[in-house]
């Protein structure tokens, strides 16, 4: 729990003060207050000190406590460069210092009670929505909490003095459970996200023509990993000096609640998205839970379904940008559940998602080219338990499709099934030892003699052992081809009309191609 000086200044309701935040202000915070004494040795970092100007001036500025409120008359001035290492507030008042000490102690006690009550809500599993509603009157403004992929987990829905303004923000800023933006303001929002991406404290944004309400956003992180963000909007009362500090005060509680149990989220659509994400990750779920997901897409098993994955060609694409692109693909494809998972856009679709054929597919293909995205489509599935397998197929189609150096932006797993098999074989330990040694003998012969028997063999394989088709493709006379085939058998020491041998040679050749691709990479 971190209480900071601006939170105290807010509650004192005294405008006659000066405040300087120290260099380590974002790391400071206190839970108690005591009087400043010049004779005290080693001031405690987690304590707020309250002192008079006379006592403060008796202490070397290098040894002042890190968090200090000084009661002074208007004649006292301080030089910022001498106190830049401490959090300092000067309150110009004739108030008795003991009375002020008691007021501050009461304010700290009140924050302790607020924190304790919030913890009780968390342990009682009241849910994120109730916690947010309890925070709203303390912050004096409505707020929402979203996860790292900008899915809104919960928002203020209690009674407000200015409900119309908050309703406007919700209706225009949240779509399909996600923080959204239009094409016109997308790049503005992208800029906002970039400004907050690596910040560990609240960031304030003033209103403009696109966003008439100012707001304050803070990343919620655990172990240096962003798990969400909280945004407070200035619709009820003006932001004050303590707004940022109060948001920080509540941030630890929000992190606790998000980490504790994501299934307590009130938004049913977001719950479903998390369930879908867990299935894709491989977490075990009952058949009943799986059906909740597929029923959302109106799939009545054993009707066929498939997974669509969209991946950016740019690995470091902004999360908000992916959210915006997700919003666009939803407008192109109906009857699907669509989430952001592992920084990919993932959809569960079925045959009624007709946009994945004909004219609809052409429109999607053009959009993919414009947005530098590629799309993978899995095989059809009919078993609920195959959802994760289908997701892996869609990702594999993208991976192998990009390796093939084709200019396509849509990759169907069905077209890469054999390549996938070869890729798996090529990546096995000592995979080269699995190949038929006869092919290596033929390769060495070609290199030594300057021949091209290996190329002829591949053409023969590709044409299903049709001598007529192979001779035509290589512009050879049938007798010349027959000579080459006989020479191959002689060099390799095998018979090409032996089924298993010929199949082994084919697999070895394809595996060699895959290994050569891997070496280039």
Residue recorded with tokens 């906002």: 192
Q: And the tokens for 443?
A: 């390769």
Cα–Cα distance between 37 and 54 in angstroms, integer?
10
Q: Which of 382, 355, 368 is nearest to 311 (CA)?
A: 368
Measured in residues, the chain has a length of 521
CATH fold for the domain made of 431-520: Arc Repressor Mutant, subunit A (1.10.10)
Q: Please answer whether residues 70 and 79 qualify as being in contact, where contact means their C-beta atoms are separated by less than 8 angstroms.
A: no
* Chain centre to alpha carbon of residue 130: 25
**Degrees, nearest 5: CA angle 48-54-58:** 85
Q: Please answer whether residues 322 and 329 qualify as being in contact, where contact means their C-beta atoms are separated by less than 8 angstroms.
A: no
At 212 the pLDDT is 73
DSSP for 334-403 reads -S-EEEEETTEEEEEEETT-GGGSHHHHHHHHHHHHHHTEEEEE---B-SGGGHHHHHHHHHHHHHHHHH
Question: What values do phi and psi take at 364, rounded to 5?
Answer: -65, -40
Q: And the tokens for 251?
A: 């941030």
Q: Which residues contact 50 (CB under 8 A, 6 or more apart)?
A: 33, 34, 35, 36, 68, 69, 70, 71, 97, 100, 101, 104
At 26 the pLDDT is 62
At 105 the pLDDT is 95
CA dist list (Å): 232 to 187, 202, 204, 216, 242: 21, 10, 10, 5, 13
Q: Which residues contact 85 (CB under 8 A, 6 or more apart)?
A: 22, 23, 24, 66
Q: Which of 378, 296, 384 is nearest to 334 (CA)?
A: 296
How many helices and strands, by DSSP H and E, does the chain display?
A: 18, 17
At 520 the pLDDT is 41
Q: Could you confirm whether domain 268-426 is CATH 3.30.70.270? A: yes
The CATH number assigned to the domain with range 125-264 reads 3.30.450.40
Strand residues in 138-213 grouped as ranges (E): 143-147, 152-155, 174-175, 178-179, 203-205
Cα–Cα distance between 361 and 308 in angstroms, integer?
13
Helix (H) or strand (E) holding 34: strand 32-35
At 266 the pLDDT is 45
Please tell me the pTM assigned to this model: 0.64
Successive 10-residue mean pLDDT values, the chain, 521 residues: 92 83 74 90 90 87 88 63 75 88 95 95 90 96 90 92 91 78 56 76 81 87 85 94 95 89 50 73 70 58 78 73 77 76 86 64 84 90 83 94 84 91 82 86 93 94 93 93 94 93 91 68 49
Q: Which residues of 204-219 are buried (b: 16+ CB within 10 A; e: fewer)?
A: ebeeeeebebbbbbbb
At 205 the pLDDT is 86
């Amino acid at each position: 729990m971190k209480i900071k000086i601006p939170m105290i200044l807010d509650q004192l309701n005294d405008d006659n003060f000066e405040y300087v935040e120290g260099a380590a202000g974002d790391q400071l915070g206190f839970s108690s207050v005591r009087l400043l004494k010049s004779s005290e040795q080693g001031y405690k970092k987690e304590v707020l000190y309250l002192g008079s100007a006379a006592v403060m001036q008796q202490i070397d500025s290098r040894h002042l406590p890190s968090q200090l409120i000084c009661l002074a008359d208007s004649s006292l001035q301080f030089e910022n460069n001498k106190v830049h290492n401490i959090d300092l507030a000067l309150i110009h008042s004739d108030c008795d210092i003991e009375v002020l000490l008691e007021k501050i102690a009461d304010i700290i006690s009140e924050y302790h009670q607020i924190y304790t009550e919030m913890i009780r809500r968390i342990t009682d599993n009241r849910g994120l929505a109730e916690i947010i509603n309890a925070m709203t009157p303390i912050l004096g403004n409505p707020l929402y909490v979203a996860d790292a992929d900008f899915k809104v987990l919960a928002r203020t829905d209690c009674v407000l003095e200015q409900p119309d303004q908050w309703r406007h923000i919700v209706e225009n800023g949240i779509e399909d459970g996600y923080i959204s933006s239009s094409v016109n303001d997308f790049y503005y929002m992208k800029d906002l996200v970039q400004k907050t991406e690596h910040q560990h404290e609240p960031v304030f944004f003033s209103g403009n023509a696109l966003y008439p309400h100012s707001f304050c956003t803070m990343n919620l992180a655990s172990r240096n990993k962003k798990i969400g963000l909280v945004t407070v909007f200035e619709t009820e009362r003006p932001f004050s000096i303590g707004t940022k500090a109060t948001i920080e005060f509540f941030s630890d509680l929000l992190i606790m609640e998000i980490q504790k149990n994501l299934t307590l989220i009130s938004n049913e659509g977001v719950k479903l998205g998390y369930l879908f994400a867990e299935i894709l990750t491989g977490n075990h779920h009952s058949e009943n839970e799986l059906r909740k997901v597929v029923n959302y897409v109106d799939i009545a098993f054993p009707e066929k379904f498939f997974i669509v994955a969209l991946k950016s060609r740019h690995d470091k694409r902004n999360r908000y940008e992916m959210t915006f692109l997700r919003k666009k693909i939803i407008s192109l494809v109906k009857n699907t559940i669509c989430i952001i998972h592992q920084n990919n856009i993932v959809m569960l679709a079925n045959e009624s998602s007709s946009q994945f054929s004909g004219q609809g597919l052409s429109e999607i293909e053009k959009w993919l080219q414009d947005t530098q995205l590629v799309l993978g489509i899995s095989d059809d599935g009919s078993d609920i338990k195959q959802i994760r397998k289908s997701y892996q197929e869609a990702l594999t189609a993208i991976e192998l499709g990009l390796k093939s150096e084709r200019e396509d932006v849509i990759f169907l797993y069905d077209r890469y099934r054999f390549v996938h098999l070869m890729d798996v074989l090529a990546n096995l330990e000592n995979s080269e030892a699995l190949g038929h040694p006869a092919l290596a003998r033929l390769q060495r012969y070609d290199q030594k003699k300057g021949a091209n028997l290996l190329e002829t063999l591949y053409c023969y394989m590709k044409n299903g052992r049709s001598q007529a088709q192979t001779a035509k493709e290589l512009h050879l006379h049938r007798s010349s081809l027959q000579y080459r085939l006989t020479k191959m058998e002689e060099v390799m020491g095998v018979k090409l009309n032996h089924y298993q041998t010929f199949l082994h040679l084919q697999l070895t050749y394809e595996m060699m191609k895959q290994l050569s691709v891997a070496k280039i990479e």
